[in-house]
Each structure stands twice: as structure tokens, then as C-alpha cells.
């Protein structure tokens, strides 16, 4: 199974400041057939199901604010919130869907 490791486990950022956190996979998520990275980011607020924010490492889902951006390739990925808002307090998970079983990182908790 592909192991996903996120860092840090938690992060406190002031309102309006940038939040950046990392996800590393135990093997490359870059497909040679389509040059796409099979990496997604999810946001989970307290008491809610996860919400898909970004797929293919950097493609925002419809309706996701542009302050959220994903980057990286191969085994190293980053999610950045350019200007943290109060509503961004949540757990953030990365997920690889390169192969089965799909696996998640342990999550990064973002606080104000």
C-alpha cells in the first residue's frame, strides 16, 4: 500500500496569513501515461464529511475559493491557503488515488 505522510500534524496561523502544509507519498503518484499526479486534498470541518478541494494535485473543484492552491509532483505535494479565513479552520487530508487501496494521510489540523 502507498503510505501518505502529512506534516505538520497541526498548524496555527493568524487570520489573513498564509498556511502551508505538506504531504509525501511512499511512491510516485505521477502517471507516465497521462502526466498527471493522482493526489487529492480534502477539507473536513467539525461534524461534517470530508469535502474534495483539489484533485490531480493542483486542480481546484468547482466553488472552491482561489485562496486554496495545490502544488507538487511525484512524491512531494503542498496545499497552500494564501490568506487564512476563520471558515478554513478544519482538518485537511491528502489522498492518493494512483492505485487501490486508496490511502489517506493522517491529516493536518489548521487552527487560528
Q: Mark the segment that binds other proteins (CB under 8 A) among 10-18, 25-33, 48-56, 73-81.
A: 48-56
Which x/- pattern, by CB under 8 A, does the window 4-43 give for other proteins?
Answer: ----------------------------------x-x-x-
Query: Phi first, then psi: what are they for 88, rounded to 5°?
Result: -90, -5
Q: Are 30 and 36 in contact (CB under 8 A)?
A: yes
Q: Which residue, chain included where needed, has cell 493568524?
A: 14
When binding is defined by CB under 8 A, the residue of 3, 12, 15, 52 that contacts other proteins is 52
Asked if 95 is part of the footprint of other proteins (rule: CB under 8 A), the reply reads yes
Q: Are 110 and 81 in contact (CB under 8 A)?
A: yes
Cα 18 from Cα 14, distance rounded (Å): 8
When binding is defined by CB under 8 A, the residue of 50, 79, 92, 110 that contacts other proteins is 50
Amino acid at each position: 500500500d502507498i503510505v501518505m505522510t502529512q506534516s505538520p500534524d497541526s498548524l496555527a496561523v493568524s487570520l489573513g496569513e498564509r498556511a502551508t502544509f505538506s504531504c509525501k507519498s511512499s511512491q510516485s503518484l505521477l502517471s507516465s501515461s497521462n502526466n498527471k499526479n493522482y493526489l487529492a486534498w480534502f477539507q473536513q470541518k467539525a461534524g461534517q464529511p470530508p469535502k474534495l478541494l483539489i484533485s490531480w494535485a493542483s486542480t481546484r473543484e468547482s466553488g472552491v475559493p482561489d485562496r486554496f492552491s495545490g502544488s507538487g509532483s511525484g512524491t512531494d505535494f503542498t496545499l497552500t491557503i494564501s490568506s487564512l479565513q476563520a471558515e478554513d479552520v478544519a482538518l485537511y487530508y491528502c489522498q492518493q488515488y494512483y492505485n487501490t487501496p486508496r490511502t489517506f494521510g493522517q491529516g493536518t489540523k489548521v487552527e487560528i
